[in-house]
Amino acid sequence: MALSELDLYKNIYLQAKTPICVLSPEGTILQINPAHKKLFDKTKFLSVGDSFSLCTNNDQLLVLLDKIDKDHHFDQEVELVKDNGDTLLVNISASGIRDESGNISAIIIISRDQTQRRESDNQLMRFHNMVDQSNDAFFIIDAKTSRILDVNLKASIRWGYSREEILQLGIIDLNPTYQGIEGWLKRMADMRKDIASIFETIHKTASGETFPVEISHQYIKNTGDDYIIAVVRDISDRKKLEEQLRQAQKMESLGTLAGGIAHDFNNILSAIIGYTQLAQLHIPQESKAFNALQQVSVGGQRAAELVKQILTFSRKTQHRLAPVEVQKIITEALKLLRPSLPTTIEIRQDIDTHCPVILADAVQIHQVIMNLCTNAYHAMREQKSGILEISLKKINIQQQVTIPQLDLQSGDYLQLLISDNGIGMDKKILQKIFEPYFTTKPLGEGTGLGLAVVHGIIHDFGGHLSVYSELGQGTCFKIYLPVPETPSTIEEEKILSKIPLGSEHLLIVDDEEPISELIKAILERYGYQVTNTISSSDALQIFTQTPELFDLVITDYAMPQMNGIDLATELFKIRPELPVLLCTGFNDITNTEKALQNGIKVCINKPIQADQLALMVRKILDKT
């Protein structure tokens, strides 16, 4: 039997999945359907006869009734608390039913549970906040047009656009390598093959600045959608660090090579200089032959200085550190420099005369100042006028605070600035200026070792060297030298006017036969008895047979089978108090320290000077 119209609507009302209730014109609940009862279960807003104000409040109920009376629609979200403390978010929509007279006879309330929607909205908001706080930029890009659909806050800040501005652009506007939509479509063809990948490129900001980026992208294809999600990371700092690492590795490799060459060259120079000095002892000083040999000796000394520069660059050389007043060295250097500079170059000084002393090599600090000032002059010599500025002051560096980019420990430093207003340098030249044998000077005007040597000296003293330059704007070198926590005093070394002779028995070990014979000849000249050999194994055997015969052993460091330190260690097992002098052509600080720790008395550097060797031997024997 067909249902009556009233029964039909009643069934619809009762079976509807949407929560529905009927209010009186005064706001009292008249009817509720099962869906409504289920939604509002365990809340105050449930039963027939309750006032709707339990759901909203009295004020809101009055607003609802007023809007319905005025034939307006009411729509509002309300929060209810269940018995277990959970929050129920409900959207309430109300409409009025009027009778034949036009009066409100009932109010229909339709409720919708918004709790999950709010949680979804909250999750989405948290996700947006998380993305906005990221250090990486996020882009959503239309794959077909390259148009930017959405970005996070980082993208807006780093690229210099407002969010509204950047959403008017395409990714091809930010990446100059695409060169238009064709380049983007070609890239898209690759992206479709490799749905997720990482690559590097460059991007451009609103101001025109370009910078390197690393892009991690995901290709998404839905029905009607074809887009890219890209995470873009600014890798400018990483690229700088990589370049610094490559530079450091290159310098280290060149330093190792230079040190090896220096070792072999020092052996050659030892023979040249030593035998020249021996030859001079046998001929009259007024003879032409003596003068000719003197020129050979001078040439050898110059070559030895060049080797020292190479070793300084390689940072393998050992220095005698002493208290140095840098301000006095600057004054002395400028006195020497001023006469050689044209009057068109003005020297400006800002030197704090009360700067504390540092531990350094005064000769090398002088070399640094002269080298940098001479370079400054060369940069300004084609100008009508120039300004050379030198300043020195004490500063305090707090690590990662004062000057974060400096690889220095916290503490006090002397800051030495040497600048000019000359031609300056571009970035390509700046990257190479500390490389040995690199020079921009004309052929014959420079060796290319100057700045490499300066770099080695400063780092050897635990300092830091940086340079800033632009074409046409001049150059500024900044040097930071550590100030010791406790001041040191200068110890004056007593120099003997005449080297005394000796008669002790010495054992000489050097795998280079000319050097072994040279040391033997030098020391025999000063009265010593000498046994020499070119094999460390033979030396150990000779010593083992008559250990009490020898008063001193002089050994080279770098020898096959057994180096000088290992030989000394074996000798000490036989005679622990035996004095040993170590010679080396490669001034390796680490090996020198190891030698002294193992009981070796003194380490001297090649090339060997006859008088210096004899004096050192006498000092060791007198202290034994």
Instruction: Give the class (CATH, top level) of 134-234.
Output: alpha beta
Tracing tokens 């004490």 back to the chain, one arrives at 394
Task: Give tens-digit pLDDT for 202-218.
Answer: 999 999 999 999 998 88
Rounded mean pLDDT, 446-464: 77
CATH class of 5-112: alpha beta
The model's pLDDT over 496-536, given as tens digits with 9 standing for 90+, comes to: 346 788 999 999 999 989 889 989 998 998 999 999 999 99
Treating both helix axes as pointing N-terminal to C-terminal, what angle do 288-314 and 450-460 enclose, rounded to 10 degrees? 60
pLDDT value at residue 592: 64
The mean pLDDT value for 180-199 works out to: 81
**In CATH, what class is 322-482?**
alpha beta
Q: Is 327 helix (H, G, I), strand (E, B) or coil?
A: helix
The encoded tokens of residue 52 equal: 């709707």
Q: H-type helices in 16-104, by residue range?
A: 34-39, 58-69
Using the Cα atoms of residue 239, residue 240, residue 241 and residue 247 in order, give the sign of their dihedral. positive
In the predicted model, what is the mean pLDDT of residues 482-499? 60
Distance between CA atoms of residues 166 and 143, nearest Å = 16
Q: Which residue carries 């002395």 as its tokens?
A: 332
- Tens-digit pLDDT profile for residues 565-593: 999 999 999 999 999 999 887 655 556 66
424 backbone φψ class: left, alpha, beta (φ>0; ψ -120 to 50): left
Pairing of strands 580-584, 552-556: parallel
pLDDT of residue 402: 46
- pLDDT, average across residues 474-485: 90
Query: What is the per-residue pLDDT for 612?
Result: 83
CATH architecture of 505-623: 3-Layer(aba) Sandwich (3.40)
Q: Judge whether residue 485 has pLDDT over 50.
A: yes
- Residue 10 token pair: 């009643």
Rounded (5°) CA angle 339-441-378:
30
For residue 492, what pLDDT is reported? 45
- Per residue, the 3-state secondary structure of 238-271, as one string, reads HHHHHHHHHHHHHHHHHHHHHHHHHHHHHHHHHH
Token pair listed for 598: 């193992």
Q: What pLDDT score does 404 carry?
A: 45
Which is higher by pLDDT, 240 or 137?
137
Dihedral of the alpha carbons of 121, 127, 132, 135, in degrees to the nearest 10? 180
Q: What would the mean pLDDT of 50-61 be, rounded to a whole number?
A: 76
In Å, what is the CA distance from 478 to each residue of 5, 284, 415, 430, 433?
Answer: 96, 52, 7, 14, 15
Residues 6 or more apart whose CB falls under 8 angstroms from that of 518 comprise 270, 271, 274, 275, 278, 608
Same-fold call for 5-112 versus 134-234: yes
The pTM score is: 0.44
| Every domain of the chain and the residues it spans | 5-112, 134-234, 241-314, 322-482, 505-623
Average pLDDT score over residue span 357-374: 86
* Nearest of 563, 566, 549, 553 to residue 602 by alpha carbon: 553
Cα(362)–Cα(330) distance, rounded to whole angstroms?
Answer: 11
Phi, psi (deg, nearest 5) at residue 439: -150, 150
**pLDDT for res 433:** 79
> What is the band of 158 on the pLDDT scale with cuts at 50, 70, 90?
very high
Predicted confidence band of residue 1 (pLDDT cuts 50, 70, 90): very low
Would you place residue 490 in the very low, low, confident or very high pLDDT band (cuts 50, 70, 90)?
very low
Highest mean pLDDT among 195-199, 263-267, 416-420: 416-420
- CA–CA distance, 36 with 88 (Å, rounded to integer): 13
